[in-house]
Amino acid sequence: MELPTLAAFLAIVLGLALFLGTLLLHRRRRAYNLPPGPKPWPIIGNMNLMGELPHSSIHELSKRYGPLMQLRFGSLPVVIAASAEMAKHILKINDAAFSDRPRFAVGKYIAYDCSDILWSPYGPYLRQTRRICAAELFSTKRLQSFDHIRDEEVRVMLRDLRRASGRTVRLRDTLQMLTLGVISRVVLGRKYVEEEAAGEGASPPVITPAGYREMVDEFFVLHGAFNIGDFIPWLDWLDLQGYVRRMKKLSAMFDRFLEHVLDVHNERRRLEGERFAAKDMVDVLQDLADDPNLEVQLSRDNVKAITQDLIIGATDTSANTMEWALSELLKNPKILAKATDELNNVIGPDRLATEKDLPHLPYIDAILKETMRVHPAAPMLAPHLAREDTRVDGYDILAGTAVFINVWSIGRDPALWDAPEEFRPERFLERKIDMRGQDFELLPFGSGRRMCPGYSLAMKVMALGLANLLHGFVWRLPEGMTVEDLSMEETFFLAMPRKFPLEATVEPRLPAHLYLGG
């Protein structure tokens, strides 16, 4: 065949292939009934519609397109569930179909190649890890064995706040040290992050509180960032926003810390020999890593990945929730007074609150639930990924679609909540709602196969911490600030902290000797 003839033949074949491909694609698209949504732009999709607070931007779009909405972030199809009914479809009715995770850069670079609990793909490894959490790490018996730790760390917080009597404190720092103190001792066996007076022969701490806060803040910033490379893969290698570089730097910092933790634990195992007994969650994980009967063997990186999740997952989200709760109470003095009255009546002026008191403090529980309705720790939960084509409420969601549950939007649904913009804890006295993932009106910890495994520990820490903050101190806004001046602006990360950390003046209200413990 002569060259011009060959070229003409190839051109005809190529043209025919393009025509047939376009025809088949058109027919394929018409065969599916996709959820409604705004028309995407070339290359960027609908990313231009995301404002500084994506959960709020998506909430406004859902008002226009409905509770199940299709977007496109770059080349990634995205579905948003923005009602309790749609959340139930995704997280319960079709839980198995939506139990995967998209493979984002943050999971690859920070979570030891997606081998933690949050970013792990659905399969034998994740199922085994969740069984370990349920049976070994967060069982009722194990959580009860750590009740003295929670009590002691709350007393440390109260002692430190008493020293600040009459002064203005930055509450976020105090709450982060409370939650970190509890989680460090429960997971790692001791506080690796604290400012200690270095005596003769003492080595400095692996990381300071300020250094740890910087790492945690960066962790949540990167988990909430819209990394262009995740949505437009052919631009990934450019790292246009510098996020991958930051992820690698943060991963190296965390890895240095976790390597030290594992080395300390291994040394104790070596020294104690047959007398060794597991004292904390890292000990349990290392014991399991030595078990040849595990379905999926745990590597050292797997242990570090799970440990990192355990530390980070409960530290900042719990602190944020307590900070939001106290912010709302300072904004609503009548609610604060009602909470104080309950504490006075149940506990009295001669002791601190304990975990045994918590079942008898329904208004404190209602305040926490209302806080998580208005200020959910993860406003859109972590993304799910469709493992197969699935039909939801008459619409088709195709395999490979990322699915977000906008719990921030669900918490503002007027069909579910009377006056949803108002902070009203009383609604949870009249309406019994459980947060274990079965009541889809309130999903701070998610539901189904990807539900947060540490919700029981988080609730114990938050309830005990908030009860003692309110019982132990009188809280006021700084001098010269009015209720109207108190900003309630939020910032979007994976979690949703206050944009401006809460500052308040603190004064003890109980006998001095009660603050000396810890």
114 annotated to bind ligand = no
Q: Which residues does 227 contact at the CB level (< 8 Å), separation at least 6? A: 104, 105, 106, 241, 243, 244
Phi, psi of 71 (to 5 degrees): -125, 180
Cα dist from 470 to 81, 344, 369, 399, 460, whole Å: 36, 10, 16, 48, 16
* Spatial separation of the C-alpha atoms in residues 238 and 475, rounded to whole Å: 49
Q: What sign does the CA torsion over 338, 341, 345, 348 have?
A: positive
CA dihedral 283, 284, 290, 296 (to 10 degrees): -140
Q: Residue 291: how many CB atoms within 10 A of its CB?
A: 9
Q: Which residue bears the tokens 């290359």?
A: 43
* Spatial separation of the C-alpha atoms in residues 148 and 256, rounded to whole Å: 30
- The answer to whether the CB of 302 falls within 8 A of the CB of 115 is yes
State how far Cα 359 lies from the chain centre: 25
List the one residue out of 266, 296, 299, 295 whose CA is nearest residue 282: 266
Strands 473-476 and 76-81: unpaired
Q: Can you name the residues that pair with 128 across neighbouring β-strands?
A: none
Cα dist from 409 to 80, 98, 120, 126, whole Å: 10, 20, 26, 29
* Spatial separation of the C-alpha atoms in residues 376 and 320, rounded to whole Å: 9
The encoded tokens of residue 418 equal: 């009377």
Q: Where are the alpha helices (DSSP H) in 375-474?
A: 407-410, 427-430, 455-472
Q: Which residues of 372-392 are buried (b: 16+ CB within 10 A; e: fewer)?
A: bbbbbbbbbbbbbbbbeebeb
* Spatial separation of the C-alpha atoms in residues 94 and 107, rounded to whole Å: 24
Q: Can you name the residues that pair with 506 across neighbouring β-strands?
A: 475
List the one residue out of 412, 419, 396, 385 whose CA is nearest residue 59: 412
Phi, psi of 143 (to 5 degrees): -65, -40
Q: Which residues does 87 contact at the CB level (< 8 Å), separation at least 6? A: 81, 405, 407, 410, 440, 443, 447
Annotated binding site for heme: 452
Annotated binding site: 452
